[in-house]
Amino acid sequence: MPLVLAADLVRSAAVARTGIGAFNVIHLETAEALVAAAENARLPVILQISQNCADYHGGLEPIGLATLAAARAATVPVAVHLDHAEREELVDEAITLGFGSVMFDGGALPYDENEAVTARVAARAHDAGVFVEGELGKVGGKDGAHAPGVRTDPGEARAFVAATGVDALAVAVGSSHAMSTRTAELDLALIGRLRSALDVPLVLHGSSGVPDGTIAAAIRAGMTKINVSTRLNGHFTRSIREALDAQPDVVDSRRYVRAGREAVAAEAERMLSLFAGTSGSTPK
């Protein structure tokens, strides 16, 4: 199965009123695990590389090309997406490398500036045939995202989409990035109002902190692209700790990193099925 466009996966899920999993790549082992998860579930997946990840690897090209290669070798549809880019030049680089979709994150900017820069980025991306995700209503850290008033207004969202031409919109509805506990409470009524107000798919960031049942309810209410990172990172790290505890004399890193890769694959497979509505399994 060749590399596919995130646009096709997101729009198909939106029509079907199901969710599509968009999981963050941290290193090559993550990309391999996520492809294995999709193949085991026989479901599509979006592999995401964030600006932070690109910076960690010293640039987008090394991890980007490796992830694109993993996607091309998959036996199920896999797309590659640039996540949370705050630098316009990083978006341009992703397009040049062959990413089929990009997210420009202007959520921390004043509304007018976010609109102007996102519109500029979207125009260039569309000229290259690339799908664009924007953000309105900052999805921040735990305290900020739960502060009063940190929510996306449906009327403002409608105007933002019209002015920028984005193809999908990340909205603030109660989730928060980097949560290690699954205690976030989403505003399902607001999701419904946003879905009614917009003609583009909605994106849920910070899904690691949202319980399974709430994610399923959010998808029913109108969420489509479901982003997960921290939860999978936790599975990776815990499994490596357990492997090292069990083999204190191990030297070859492949022997314990493999445990992390397998743990991510298992949890990502479960979550893909949850988002697609094909499984009622419970989290570990």
Q: What is the pLDDT of residue 120?
A: 96
Q: What is the pLDDT of residue 175?
A: 52
Architecture label for domain 6-276: Alpha-Beta Barrel (3.20)
For residues 150 and 107, what is the distance between their CA atoms, to the nearest angstrom? 11
Phi, psi (rounded to 5 degrees) for 203? -120, 130
In the block, which residue shows the tokens 């890769």? Answer: 261
Q: Which residues neighbour 129 within 8 Å (Cβ) at sequence distance 6 or greater?
A: none
Sequence letter at residue 99:
F
| Count of CB atoms situated within 10 Å of the CB of 82 | 30
Report the DSSP pairing between strands 45-50 and 101-104.
Answer: unpaired
Measured N-to-C along each axis, helices 60-72 and 28-41 cross at an angle, to the nearest 10 degrees, of 20
The neighbour count for residue 283, using CB atoms within 10 Å, is: 12
CB atoms under 10 Å from CB of 165, counted, come to 16
**DSSP states of 176-231:** -TT-SSS-----HHHHHHHHHH-SS-EEE--GGGS-HHHHHHHHHHTEEEEEE-HH
Q: What gap in Å lies between CA 48 and CA 24, rounded to an integer?
A: 5
Calpha distance 80→25 (Å, rounded): 10
Token look-up 């849920």 returns 204
Residue with tokens 């709430």: 214
Please name which of 219, 221, 215, 220 lies closest in space to residue 283, comparing C-alpha atoms: 215
Give the residues of the chain that fall short of pLDDT 70: 1, 137-149, 174-185, 279-284
CA distances from 62 to 145, 189, 236 (A): 32, 42, 21
Query: How do residues 172-223 score in pLDDT, each as one tens digit?
Result: 886 555 444 554 567 899 999 999 999 999 999 877 778 888 899 999 999 9
CA distance 246 to 242: 6
pLDDT at 177: 53
The answer to whether 202 and 195 have CB atoms below 8 angstroms apart is yes
pLDDT, position 236: 95
- Any idea which residues carry the catalytic annotation? 83
